[in-house]
Structure 1
Amino acid sequence: MTADLTSLLAAWTDRLAALAPALTAAERPFRTQLTVRTADPSALGETLGVGFPAVPCTFTSGAGAEVLWLGPDEFLVVAPEGVNEEVVRGALGSSRGSVVDTSAQRTAVDLEGPHVRDVLAHGCAVDLHPAAAPAGTCVQTLLARTGVILQVRDGDRVTLLVRSSFAGYLAAWLCDAATEYL
């Protein structure tokens, strides 16, 4: 029996769409997310088709996967279909480490538009000026008292990874914070 999946922000689609053109917000639900703890991630890059970041608080992309450096030995792999916990654990080989599927823990929200950084500045202490947070930056931070992983993409594009239980609250906050730019 297959369960029908409903995205966490399905009820917010119209309200988030109303924020355009100041800000477009689109949920990308049901993405494979694997938390990897290892001191030597070099073996994993070949399996995933993307190298692991060499600099803290950055992410790399390639072959449909993204790897975010979250801590000294902690990475988040946002993987394409077909890459799962067993595949990544097998790639670790004899290296010490762990792989945990955390896909159900968070949903992804893509933000884009001329006021993305302005809106986020209302609730985030991280300096999001392009000089301080260039494309490729990722940080764990609080946004409106909600724990998020914030990925700065090229131009005025940002992805927020937010815990499932806070997704509705974050959507409501985004709608309120973007009001002055409409």
Structure 2
Amino acid sequence: MAETMHRPVVISEIVPPRLTVLRLRRPSNDDLARIGALIGTALPTDPNQARDGAVRVIWMGPDEWLIVGDTAPTSAIEEAATHAAAALCVSVGDGRCVFEVTGPAAADLIAKGTSLDLHRTLSAADRSAMTLFAQTNVIIDRPPGLDGYRLIFDFSVRDYLRFWFADAVIEFG
């Protein structure tokens, strides 16, 4: 019988799910509720929060969210924001990459690349943060059921982050 070796950290590039950015200028509570009902997940309104339902919604700013997963057409989402001063909903998945960092040492590896206090900022599965990681802009997310972190970032830094991880993971075996 072959012995299974447990690695303290595993870095995997995954096929990005559908990613959609939603921006609303001065939305009303009715707008937020209507859009939440349309996409099947309430929009989080507190910083660094994420919510799960039919899709995962990550708070990116007071007027911006990232919708992760298949959702209503962008035009339908924009139309649901009838009271917002402006609404924009754009699919951004083709320009993004996603790495998952999992395992018992995942937090230690992520901590090498960011100044965030992971225990305070990203301690639970309903948390996320936009931050600098290895000197690049990323979203670090803690989806439920994932023993680690998901990093969402611009495709243009994909190779750079691959090399950064290859170098940073050496100390973890």
Residue 52 of structure 1 aligns with which residue? Answer: 43
User: In the alignment, is the contact (CA less than 8 A) between 1:22 and 1:178 conserved in 2?
Assistant: no
Q: Are 1:122 and 2:108 an aligned pair? A: no
Residue 18 of structure 2 aligns with which residue? Answer: 32
User: In the alignment, is the contact (CA less than 8 A) between 1:50 and 1:66 conserved in 2?
Assistant: yes
Residue 86 of structure 1 aligns with which residue? Answer: 75
The structural deviation recorded for 1:92 is: 2.6
Q: How far apart are the structure 1 equivalents of 2:73 and 2:160?
A: 29
User: In the alignment, is the contact (CA less than 8 A) between 2:122 and 2:129 conserved in 1?
Assistant: no
Q: Secondary structure at the match of 1:139?
A: strand
Q: How far apart are the structure 2 equivalents of 1:113 and 1:100?
A: 33
Q: How far apart are the structure 2 equivalents of 1:92 and 1:28?
A: 32
Residue 111 of structure 1 aligns with which residue? Answer: 101
Q: How far apart are the structure 2 equivalents of 1:113 and 1:162?
A: 21
**TM-score (normalised: structure 2):** 0.83
Matching residue's letter, 2:21: T
1:1-52 superposed Cα distances (whole Å, 9 cap, x missing partner) = xxxxxxxxxxxxxxxxxxx612222222242211111233221111111111
The structural deviation recorded for 1:95 is: 3.7
Q: Pick from 60, 65, 71 the counterpart of residue 70 of structure 1.
A: 60
Unaligned runs of 5+ in 2: 1-5
Matching residue's letter, 2:105: H
Give the share of equivalent positions with the same residue, in percent.
27
Q: Pick from 142, 149, 155 the counterpart of residue 152 of structure 1.
A: 142
Q: How far apart are the structure 2 equivalents of 1:62 and 1:157?
A: 20
Q: Pick from 83, 91, 99 the counterpart of residue 101 of structure 1.
A: 91
Residue 15 of structure 1 aligns with which residue? Answer: none
User: In the alignment, is the contact (CA less than 8 A) between 1:31 and 1:78 conserved in 2?
Assistant: yes
Judging changes above 3 Å, is the alpha-carbon distance between structure 1 residues 125 and 61 closer, same or farther for their aligned structure 2 residues? same
**TM-score (normalised: structure 1):** 0.79
Matching residue's letter, 1:179: I
- Cα RMSD over matched residues? 1.9
The structural deviation recorded for 1:94 is: 4.8
Q: Secondary structure at the match of 1:22?
A: coil
1:95-131 superposed Cα distances (whole Å, 9 cap, x missing partner) = 44221222222111122101111011111010112x4
Unaligned runs of 5+ in 1: 1-19
Residue 179 of structure 1 aligns with which residue? Answer: 170
Matching residue's letter, 1:120: I
Matching residue's letter, 2:19: Q
